[in-house]
Structure 1
């Protein structure tokens, strides 16, 4: 299966692009760099994992992606608290990271339990 066909990859890539667009004018470059990197890491690690040959390597990169999802959610909460991210936008992104994380969990389980 191609990573481009995975709904979790499509949603995470869209979320990453949304974060870049929404925060393009933010002058706190440290925060902007960190949150955009964690957002970009999610679809990137899905793609890298799906391109790996071994199941173990695939799962490892999917786990990295899931971890980045938690990192991104944390940064969104902080961004909302310090008024870098509007509450409604932040809530939408939080909901999307939760959905993506859940989808990744299902994909990881499926990859682990698949017969070789």
Structure 2
């Protein structure tokens, strides 16, 4: 497995990018495109996922990265909640809703796994520092 050197190498960020593109495409159609409030909010939530992954990765301390991943994961939940609104008001069909919900859940799970990994690495670094 190759070393992750850039945030673009993170699978979580790559999947969040794809999800964001899908959200932008769906919000530019039909009634969704005319609902500036909901379409803007769901777009911001999607962008927040990938942006927080990127910003956290570039931070100096693992604790900061962990916190930004928590925010990114929370944005996944926000996006999922907004997808329910879009479904309920008829902006998206059930099939598209299911696809986007599944993508958002997958991104959240990947971020969750990355958070665990970062937490372990942070704890190992703390133990090594305390042993000195």
Report the TM-score, using the length of structure 1 for normalisation: 0.96
Q: What is the match of residue 48 of structure 2? A: 41
Report the TM-score, using the length of structure 2 for normalisation: 0.85
Deviation, 1:87, is 1.3
Output the aligned Cα RMSD: 0.9
Q: CA–CA distance in 1 between the matches of 2:60 and 2:46?
A: 25
Q: What is the match of residue 129 of structure 2? A: none
Q: 2:115 aligns with which of 87, 93, 108?
A: 108
Residue segments in structure 1 that go unaligned for 5+ positions in a row? none
Q: 1:63 aligns with which of 51, 70, 73?
A: 70
Q: Which structure is larger by alpha-carbon Rg, 1 or 2?
A: 2
Deviation, 1:57, is 0.5
Q: 2:104 aligns with which of 78, 93, 97?
A: 97
Q: What is the match of residue 93 of structure 2? A: 86
After the TM superposition, list the runs of 4 or more consecutive aligned residues in structure 1 that deviate by more than 4 angstroms. Answer: none
